[in-house]
Amino acid sequence: MINWLNADFSKKVQFNKLVSSPASDEMQIVIPAGEEIKEHKSPSMIAIQVLKGEIELKVLCSMFTLKDGDMKVIDTGGVEHALKAKVDSVVRLSIYKK
């Protein structure tokens, strides 16, 4: 059984691959308050879901605030995005394989 909310906020940003299948990789991202993931691109479609906390998600020139239970899908690869935790946050990242 996987507990997505099991998180240690005493460290910097942590990426934990919890599930891998031919269709997708499911990652837990633990982001302490104030920490950020700089702009980068994913090669394929992704879904970013906040399980706990609150983040600011930048996609191209648009800003989104995501809170507990909110999800944003970036449906094409190669789109620049970044995020910053407003409070201690746990994010589920689904990376869909081509």
Tell me, what's the pLDDT at 21?
Answer: 96
Q: Give CA–CA dist 88/80, Å, rounded.
A: 23
Q: What is the pLDDT along the chain (98 residues), one digit of tens a residue?
A: 889 999 999 989 999 999 999 999 999 999 999 999 999 999 999 999 999 999 999 999 999 999 999 999 999 889 999 999 999 999 999 999 97
Tell me, what's the pLDDT at 2?
Answer: 86
Task: Domain 14-96: give its CATH code.
Answer: 2.60.120.10
Q: Give CA–CA dist 34/83, Å, rounded.
A: 10
Q: Give CA–CA dist 21/17, Å, rounded.
A: 11
